[in-house]
Amino acid sequence: MKRTRSLLIAVVLALWGSACSQQADEIRIGEYGSLTGGTATFGTSTHEGVLLALTEINAGGGLLGKRVTVITEDDQSKPEEAVTAVLKLIKQNQVVAVVGEVASSRSLAAAPVCQANKIPMLSPSSTNPKVTQVGDYIFRACFIDPFQGSTMAKFAINTLKVRRLAILTDTKNDYSVGLTQFFRDTVKSLGGEIVAEESYGEGDIEFKAQLTAIKAVNPEAIYVPGYYTECALIARQARELGLTATLLGGDGWDSPKTAEIGGKAVDGTYFTNHYSADEQRPEVQKFIADYRAAYGGKVPDAMAVLGYDAMRMLAAAIARAGSSDGPAIRAALAATKDFPGVSGRITIDGERNARKAIVVLKIDNGEFRFVESIAP
Protein backbone atom coordinates (compact mmCIF):
# COMPACT_ATOMS: atom_id res chain seq x y z
CA MET A 1 0.00 0.00 0.00
CA LYS A 2 2.71 2.42 1.07
CA ARG A 3 4.78 1.38 -1.93
CA THR A 4 1.95 1.92 -4.42
CA ARG A 5 1.29 5.28 -2.86
CA SER A 6 4.87 6.48 -3.10
CA LEU A 7 5.01 5.14 -6.67
CA LEU A 8 1.91 7.10 -7.52
CA ILE A 9 3.35 10.23 -5.96
CA ALA A 10 6.57 9.62 -7.89
CA VAL A 11 4.71 9.39 -11.18
CA VAL A 12 2.63 12.50 -10.54
CA LEU A 13 5.66 14.45 -9.42
CA ALA A 14 7.70 13.25 -12.41
CA LEU A 15 5.04 14.52 -14.81
CA TRP A 16 4.83 17.80 -12.97
CA GLY A 17 8.61 18.07 -12.74
CA SER A 18 9.15 17.68 -16.46
CA ALA A 19 6.64 20.47 -17.01
CA CYS A 20 8.52 23.06 -15.00
CA SER A 21 12.22 22.82 -15.78
CA GLN A 22 15.09 24.26 -13.76
CA GLN A 23 15.51 27.98 -14.04
CA ALA A 24 18.77 28.92 -15.68
CA ASP A 25 19.87 31.62 -13.25
CA GLU A 26 19.78 29.69 -9.99
CA ILE A 27 21.14 26.53 -8.41
CA ARG A 28 18.59 24.74 -6.27
CA ILE A 29 19.65 22.65 -3.31
CA GLY A 30 17.13 20.59 -1.40
CA GLU A 31 17.01 20.18 2.35
CA TYR A 32 14.79 17.79 4.28
CA GLY A 33 14.66 17.56 8.03
CA SER A 34 12.62 17.20 11.19
CA LEU A 35 11.35 20.74 11.63
CA THR A 36 8.55 19.32 13.77
CA GLY A 37 8.01 16.10 15.72
CA GLY A 38 10.00 14.20 18.33
CA THR A 39 13.40 15.51 17.23
CA ALA A 40 12.31 18.99 16.17
CA THR A 41 15.32 20.77 17.65
CA PHE A 42 17.62 18.67 15.42
CA GLY A 43 15.84 19.74 12.26
CA THR A 44 15.45 23.41 13.19
CA SER A 45 19.08 23.77 14.30
CA THR A 46 20.33 22.12 11.12
CA HIS A 47 18.09 24.37 9.07
CA GLU A 48 19.45 27.47 10.78
CA GLY A 49 23.01 26.32 10.06
CA VAL A 50 22.14 25.67 6.42
CA LEU A 51 20.55 29.11 6.03
CA LEU A 52 23.56 30.82 7.60
CA ALA A 53 25.86 29.06 5.11
CA LEU A 54 23.50 29.94 2.26
CA THR A 55 23.58 33.64 3.15
CA GLU A 56 27.39 33.56 3.15
CA ILE A 57 27.53 31.72 -0.18
CA ASN A 58 25.20 34.18 -1.89
CA ALA A 59 26.97 37.15 -0.31
CA GLY A 60 30.17 35.78 -1.87
CA GLY A 61 28.63 35.80 -5.36
CA GLY A 62 26.80 32.47 -5.37
CA LEU A 63 28.04 29.43 -7.29
CA LEU A 64 29.10 29.16 -10.95
CA GLY A 65 27.87 32.71 -11.38
CA LYS A 66 24.36 31.82 -10.24
CA ARG A 67 22.34 32.47 -7.11
CA VAL A 68 21.86 29.52 -4.79
CA THR A 69 18.44 28.74 -3.29
CA VAL A 70 17.60 26.13 -0.67
CA ILE A 71 14.21 24.44 -0.72
CA THR A 72 13.30 22.93 2.63
CA GLU A 73 10.83 20.10 3.33
CA ASP A 74 9.66 19.04 6.79
CA ASP A 75 9.53 15.27 7.38
CA GLN A 76 7.85 15.58 10.83
CA SER A 77 10.48 13.24 12.35
CA LYS A 78 8.98 10.33 10.38
CA PRO A 79 10.94 8.07 7.99
CA GLU A 80 8.00 7.63 5.59
CA GLU A 81 7.60 11.41 5.31
CA ALA A 82 11.33 11.71 4.57
CA VAL A 83 10.85 9.58 1.44
CA THR A 84 8.00 11.78 0.22
CA ALA A 85 9.96 14.95 1.00
CA VAL A 86 13.00 13.84 -0.99
CA LEU A 87 10.89 12.66 -3.93
CA LYS A 88 9.22 16.03 -4.02
CA LEU A 89 12.54 17.88 -3.88
CA ILE A 90 14.06 15.85 -6.70
CA LYS A 91 11.10 15.43 -9.03
CA GLN A 92 9.13 18.60 -8.48
CA ASN A 93 11.72 21.15 -7.40
CA GLN A 94 14.54 19.64 -9.50
CA VAL A 95 17.24 20.18 -6.93
CA VAL A 96 20.86 19.35 -7.88
CA ALA A 97 21.78 17.94 -4.46
CA VAL A 98 20.10 17.19 -1.14
CA VAL A 99 21.16 18.02 2.42
CA GLY A 100 19.64 15.81 5.15
CA GLU A 101 18.80 14.13 7.53
CA VAL A 102 19.97 14.14 11.12
CA ALA A 103 18.41 10.84 12.20
CA SER A 104 19.96 7.75 10.64
CA SER A 105 16.61 5.98 10.29
CA ARG A 106 15.27 8.84 8.17
CA SER A 107 18.45 9.19 6.12
CA LEU A 108 18.26 5.46 5.46
CA ALA A 109 14.68 5.82 4.26
CA ALA A 110 15.44 8.69 1.87
CA ALA A 111 18.91 7.69 0.64
CA PRO A 112 17.73 5.03 -1.88
CA VAL A 113 15.60 7.69 -3.62
CA CYS A 114 18.60 10.00 -4.06
CA GLN A 115 20.79 7.12 -5.18
CA ALA A 116 18.28 5.95 -7.77
CA ASN A 117 17.98 9.48 -9.19
CA LYS A 118 21.74 10.10 -9.14
CA ILE A 119 21.31 13.15 -6.91
CA PRO A 120 24.09 13.49 -4.32
CA MET A 121 22.81 13.42 -0.75
CA LEU A 122 24.91 14.84 2.05
CA SER A 123 23.73 13.97 5.52
CA PRO A 124 24.96 16.53 8.02
CA SER A 125 24.80 14.29 11.06
CA SER A 126 23.55 10.72 10.52
CA THR A 127 26.18 8.61 12.20
CA ASN A 128 24.99 5.05 11.44
CA PRO A 129 27.49 3.37 9.03
CA LYS A 130 24.66 1.89 6.92
CA VAL A 131 23.61 5.33 5.64
CA THR A 132 26.46 5.82 3.17
CA GLN A 133 26.48 2.12 2.29
CA VAL A 134 23.23 2.73 0.40
CA GLY A 135 25.28 3.84 -2.61
CA ASP A 136 27.99 6.04 -4.06
CA TYR A 137 25.82 9.18 -4.12
CA ILE A 138 25.36 9.23 -0.35
CA PHE A 139 27.81 11.21 1.81
CA ARG A 140 27.97 12.54 5.32
CA ALA A 141 29.65 15.46 7.06
CA CYS A 142 30.10 13.72 10.40
CA PHE A 143 31.94 10.81 11.98
CA ILE A 144 30.29 7.38 12.23
CA ASP A 145 29.00 5.28 15.11
CA PRO A 146 31.94 2.84 15.37
CA PHE A 147 34.16 5.82 16.14
CA GLN A 148 31.62 7.49 18.44
CA GLY A 149 30.69 4.31 20.31
CA SER A 150 34.25 3.12 20.77
CA THR A 151 35.47 6.60 21.79
CA MET A 152 32.90 6.75 24.58
CA ALA A 153 33.92 3.26 25.69
CA LYS A 154 37.59 4.30 25.79
CA PHE A 155 36.69 7.47 27.65
CA ALA A 156 34.71 5.50 30.25
CA ILE A 157 37.42 2.89 30.82
CA ASN A 158 40.55 5.07 30.49
CA THR A 159 39.47 8.48 31.75
CA LEU A 160 36.58 7.78 34.10
CA LYS A 161 38.22 4.52 35.26
CA VAL A 162 34.97 2.58 35.49
CA ARG A 163 34.84 -1.17 34.90
CA ARG A 164 31.22 -2.25 35.39
CA LEU A 165 28.96 -0.76 32.73
CA ALA A 166 25.32 -1.09 31.73
CA ILE A 167 23.66 -0.15 28.43
CA LEU A 168 20.12 1.09 27.78
CA THR A 169 19.36 0.95 24.04
CA ASP A 170 16.54 2.37 21.95
CA THR A 171 15.84 -0.73 19.87
CA LYS A 172 13.57 1.18 17.46
CA ASN A 173 16.47 3.39 16.42
CA ASP A 174 19.27 2.33 14.03
CA TYR A 175 21.54 4.97 15.51
CA SER A 176 21.16 3.71 19.07
CA VAL A 177 21.53 0.06 18.13
CA GLY A 178 24.73 0.86 16.19
CA LEU A 179 26.30 2.81 19.04
CA THR A 180 25.45 0.06 21.50
CA GLN A 181 27.21 -2.56 19.42
CA PHE A 182 30.48 -0.61 19.07
CA PHE A 183 30.44 0.54 22.67
CA ARG A 184 29.93 -3.02 23.93
CA ASP A 185 32.73 -4.45 21.73
CA THR A 186 35.23 -1.80 22.78
CA VAL A 187 34.41 -2.08 26.48
CA LYS A 188 34.99 -5.82 26.30
CA SER A 189 38.25 -5.47 24.38
CA LEU A 190 39.53 -3.00 26.99
CA GLY A 191 38.78 -5.39 29.85
CA GLY A 192 35.58 -3.77 31.07
CA GLU A 193 32.38 -5.64 31.84
CA ILE A 194 28.84 -5.09 30.54
CA VAL A 195 26.74 -6.05 33.55
CA ALA A 196 23.30 -5.27 32.12
CA GLU A 197 21.75 -4.55 28.74
CA GLU A 198 18.21 -3.22 28.67
CA SER A 199 16.11 -1.68 25.92
CA TYR A 200 13.29 0.76 25.26
CA GLY A 201 11.49 2.15 22.21
CA GLU A 202 11.54 5.71 20.85
CA GLY A 203 8.48 7.54 22.20
CA ASP A 204 8.37 5.66 25.53
CA ILE A 205 7.94 7.77 28.65
CA GLU A 206 8.19 5.10 31.34
CA PHE A 207 11.60 3.49 31.92
CA LYS A 208 11.46 2.54 35.58
CA ALA A 209 11.19 -1.20 34.94
CA GLN A 210 14.44 -1.27 32.96
CA LEU A 211 16.19 1.11 35.33
CA THR A 212 15.19 -0.95 38.36
CA ALA A 213 16.66 -4.02 36.67
CA ILE A 214 19.87 -2.08 35.98
CA LYS A 215 20.00 -0.81 39.54
CA ALA A 216 19.88 -4.38 40.83
CA VAL A 217 23.30 -5.15 39.28
CA ASN A 218 24.79 -1.86 40.47
CA PRO A 219 26.88 -0.62 37.51
CA GLU A 220 29.36 2.26 37.79
CA ALA A 221 28.17 3.90 34.57
CA ILE A 222 25.25 3.53 32.16
CA TYR A 223 25.52 4.18 28.43
CA VAL A 224 22.27 5.64 27.05
CA PRO A 225 22.75 6.19 23.31
CA GLY A 226 19.45 7.73 22.24
CA TYR A 227 17.72 11.02 21.52
CA TYR A 228 17.34 13.84 23.96
CA THR A 229 13.65 13.56 24.95
CA GLU A 230 13.89 9.92 26.04
CA CYS A 231 17.40 10.24 27.46
CA ALA A 232 16.48 13.20 29.65
CA LEU A 233 13.45 11.31 31.00
CA ILE A 234 15.66 8.28 31.60
CA ALA A 235 18.08 10.43 33.60
CA ARG A 236 15.24 11.80 35.74
CA GLN A 237 13.76 8.40 36.46
CA ALA A 238 17.17 6.89 37.17
CA ARG A 239 17.83 9.53 39.84
CA GLU A 240 14.32 9.08 41.28
CA LEU A 241 15.07 5.40 41.74
CA GLY A 242 18.28 6.28 43.55
CA LEU A 243 20.61 5.20 40.74
CA THR A 244 23.80 7.21 41.13
CA ALA A 245 25.83 5.69 38.26
CA THR A 246 27.35 8.15 35.77
CA LEU A 247 25.26 8.45 32.62
CA LEU A 248 27.00 8.49 29.22
CA GLY A 249 25.46 9.41 25.87
CA GLY A 250 26.08 10.23 22.24
CA ASP A 251 25.46 13.21 19.98
CA GLY A 252 21.70 12.54 20.19
CA TRP A 253 21.90 14.31 23.56
CA ASP A 254 22.98 17.57 22.00
CA SER A 255 19.90 19.72 22.49
CA PRO A 256 18.95 22.47 24.91
CA LYS A 257 15.98 20.23 25.82
CA THR A 258 18.32 17.71 27.49
CA ALA A 259 19.00 20.14 30.31
CA GLU A 260 15.46 21.57 30.30
CA ILE A 261 13.78 18.18 30.74
CA GLY A 262 16.55 16.51 32.68
CA GLY A 263 17.21 19.36 35.11
CA LYS A 264 19.52 18.35 37.94
CA ALA A 265 19.32 14.70 36.87
CA VAL A 266 21.61 15.23 33.86
CA ASP A 267 24.31 17.10 35.79
CA GLY A 268 27.58 15.19 35.82
CA THR A 269 26.74 13.18 32.70
CA TYR A 270 29.03 12.92 29.66
CA PHE A 271 28.32 12.65 25.95
CA THR A 272 30.32 12.53 22.71
CA ASN A 273 29.67 15.32 20.24
CA HIS A 274 30.79 16.93 17.00
CA TYR A 275 31.84 20.26 18.42
CA SER A 276 32.06 22.31 21.56
CA ALA A 277 31.31 26.02 21.84
CA ASP A 278 34.27 26.22 24.25
CA GLU A 279 36.81 25.41 21.51
CA GLN A 280 39.01 28.40 20.66
CA ARG A 281 39.68 27.65 16.95
CA PRO A 282 38.95 30.79 14.84
CA GLU A 283 36.42 28.92 12.62
CA VAL A 284 34.43 27.97 15.72
CA GLN A 285 34.45 31.41 17.30
CA LYS A 286 33.58 33.15 14.00
CA PHE A 287 30.68 30.74 13.44
CA ILE A 288 29.36 31.25 16.96
CA ALA A 289 29.52 35.03 16.57
CA ASP A 290 27.73 34.94 13.19
CA TYR A 291 25.12 32.50 14.44
CA ARG A 292 24.38 34.54 17.54
CA ALA A 293 24.04 37.66 15.44
CA ALA A 294 21.64 35.91 13.06
CA TYR A 295 19.50 34.09 15.63
CA GLY A 296 19.07 36.44 18.53
CA GLY A 297 22.04 35.51 20.69
CA LYS A 298 21.35 31.76 20.74
CA VAL A 299 24.41 29.50 21.18
CA PRO A 300 24.53 27.01 18.27
CA ASP A 301 24.36 23.28 19.00
CA ALA A 302 26.23 20.64 17.00
CA MET A 303 23.32 20.13 14.60
CA ALA A 304 23.54 23.79 13.55
CA VAL A 305 27.30 23.42 13.09
CA LEU A 306 26.93 20.31 10.95
CA GLY A 307 24.13 21.85 8.88
CA TYR A 308 26.44 24.79 8.22
CA ASP A 309 29.44 22.56 7.46
CA ALA A 310 27.38 20.28 5.17
CA MET A 311 26.01 23.19 3.18
CA ARG A 312 29.47 24.75 2.77
CA MET A 313 31.07 21.40 1.85
CA LEU A 314 28.44 20.92 -0.81
CA ALA A 315 28.91 24.45 -2.16
CA ALA A 316 32.68 23.94 -2.28
CA ALA A 317 32.17 20.68 -4.17
CA ILE A 318 29.85 22.34 -6.73
CA ALA A 319 32.39 25.14 -7.21
CA ARG A 320 35.22 22.63 -7.73
CA ALA A 321 33.08 20.51 -10.06
CA GLY A 322 32.34 23.57 -12.18
CA SER A 323 28.96 22.04 -12.95
CA SER A 324 25.63 21.38 -11.26
CA ASP A 325 25.39 17.88 -12.73
CA GLY A 326 24.70 15.06 -10.25
CA PRO A 327 27.68 12.87 -11.27
CA ALA A 328 30.09 15.83 -11.35
CA ILE A 329 29.04 17.03 -7.87
CA ARG A 330 29.33 13.46 -6.61
CA ALA A 331 32.91 13.15 -7.85
CA ALA A 332 33.88 16.51 -6.34
CA LEU A 333 32.30 15.64 -2.97
CA ALA A 334 34.15 12.33 -2.90
CA ALA A 335 37.42 14.23 -3.43
CA THR A 336 36.86 16.56 -0.41
CA LYS A 337 40.12 16.78 1.53
CA ASP A 338 41.04 18.83 4.60
CA PHE A 339 37.95 21.00 4.28
CA PRO A 340 38.15 23.60 7.08
CA GLY A 341 34.80 22.97 8.76
CA VAL A 342 33.63 24.38 12.07
CA SER A 343 33.37 20.81 13.39
CA GLY A 344 37.00 20.10 12.42
CA ARG A 345 39.08 19.46 9.30
CA ILE A 346 36.94 17.18 7.16
CA THR A 347 38.29 14.57 4.75
CA ILE A 348 35.89 12.27 2.92
CA ASP A 349 37.16 8.69 2.98
CA GLY A 350 36.56 5.80 0.58
CA GLU A 351 33.30 4.93 2.35
CA ARG A 352 32.08 8.55 1.85
CA ASN A 353 32.31 9.21 5.60
CA ALA A 354 33.90 12.29 7.13
CA ARG A 355 37.06 11.68 9.15
CA LYS A 356 37.56 14.20 11.92
CA ALA A 357 38.00 14.59 15.66
CA ILE A 358 35.32 13.94 18.28
CA VAL A 359 34.77 15.91 21.49
CA VAL A 360 33.55 14.70 24.87
CA LEU A 361 31.29 17.11 26.76
CA LYS A 362 30.19 17.14 30.36
CA ILE A 363 26.86 18.60 31.48
CA ASP A 364 27.46 20.88 34.41
CA ASN A 365 24.62 22.96 35.87
CA GLY A 366 22.76 22.66 32.58
CA GLU A 367 25.77 23.87 30.55
CA PHE A 368 27.75 21.71 28.13
CA ARG A 369 31.45 21.89 29.06
CA PHE A 370 34.34 20.74 26.88
CA VAL A 371 36.25 17.83 28.43
CA GLU A 372 38.54 16.53 25.71
CA SER A 373 38.99 16.19 21.96
CA ILE A 374 39.92 12.78 20.51
CA ALA A 375 41.34 12.42 16.99
CA PRO A 376 40.43 9.41 14.83
Partner 1 sequence: MEQFIQQLINGLAWGAIYALIALGYTMVYGVLRLINFAHGDVYMIGAMTAYYVAHWLGFASAPSLQGFVVVMIVAMALCAALGALIELVAYRRLRHQPRSSMLITAIGVSMLLEFGGQRVFGPDPKFFPQLIESHSLFRAGGVVLTNLDALVIVVSLVLMIGLRWVVMKTRVGMALRAVSFSYDTAALMGINVNTVLSLTFMLGSALAAAAGAMVGLRNPKIDPLMGLLPGVKAFVAAVLGGIGNFPGAVVGGVLMGVTETLVAAYLSSTYRDAVAFVILIGVLLVKPTGLFGKVTVEKV
Residues at the site binding partner 1, with contacts judged by CB under 8 A: 36-38, 40, 76, 171, 198-201, 204-206, 208-210, 212-213, 215-216, 229, 233, 236-237, 240-242, 257, 260-261, 263
CB of 101 to partner 1, least distance (A): 17
CA–CA dist 46, 99 (Å, integer): 10
CB of 330 to partner 1, least distance (A): 34
Q: Which residue, 242 or 282, is less far from partner 1 as judged by CB?
A: 242
* 353-364 per-residue burial string, b: 16 or more CB within 10 A, e: under 16: bbbbbbbbbbbe
Q: Which residue, 35 or 248, is less far from partner 1 as judged by CB?
A: 35
Q: What is the DSSP string of 301-346?
A: -HHHHHHHHHHHHHHHHHHHHTS--HHHHHHHHHT--SEEETTEEE
CB of 164 to partner 1, least distance (A): 16
Tell me the torsion sign for CA atoms 102, 283, 152, 184: positive
Q: Which residue, 1 or 205, is less far from partner 1 as judged by CB?
A: 205
Q: Which residue, 213 or 331, is less far from partner 1 as judged by CB?
A: 213
Contact at 8 Å (CB) between 334 and 326? no
CB of 64 to partner 1, least distance (A): 38
Tell me the torsion sign for CA atoms 33, 36, 42, 43: positive
CB of 37 to partner 1, least distance (A): 5
CB of 38 to partner 1, least distance (A): 6
CA 50 to chain CA mean position, Å: 13
* H/E run at residue 362: strand 358-364
Encoded amino acid at 114, one letter: C
Q: Which residue, 193 or 260, is less far from partner 1 as judged by CB?
A: 260
Encoded amino acid at 346, one letter: I
Q: Which residue, 215 or 312, is less far from partner 1 as judged by CB?
A: 215
CB of 226 to partner 1, least distance (A): 13
CB of 294 to partner 1, least distance (A): 22
Contact at 8 Å (CB) between 45 and 294? no
Q: Which residue, 66 or 257, is less far from partner 1 as judged by CB?
A: 257
Burial of 104 (0-12, 13-18, 19+ CB in 10 A): buried
Q: Which residue, 206 or 278, is less far from partner 1 as judged by CB?
A: 206
CA–CA dist 146, 16 (Å, integer): 42
Give backbone dihedrals phi and psi of 354, rounded to 5 degrees, phi first: -85, 130
CB of 126 to partner 1, least distance (A): 21
Vertex 59, ends 56 and 60: CA angle to 5°?
A: 85
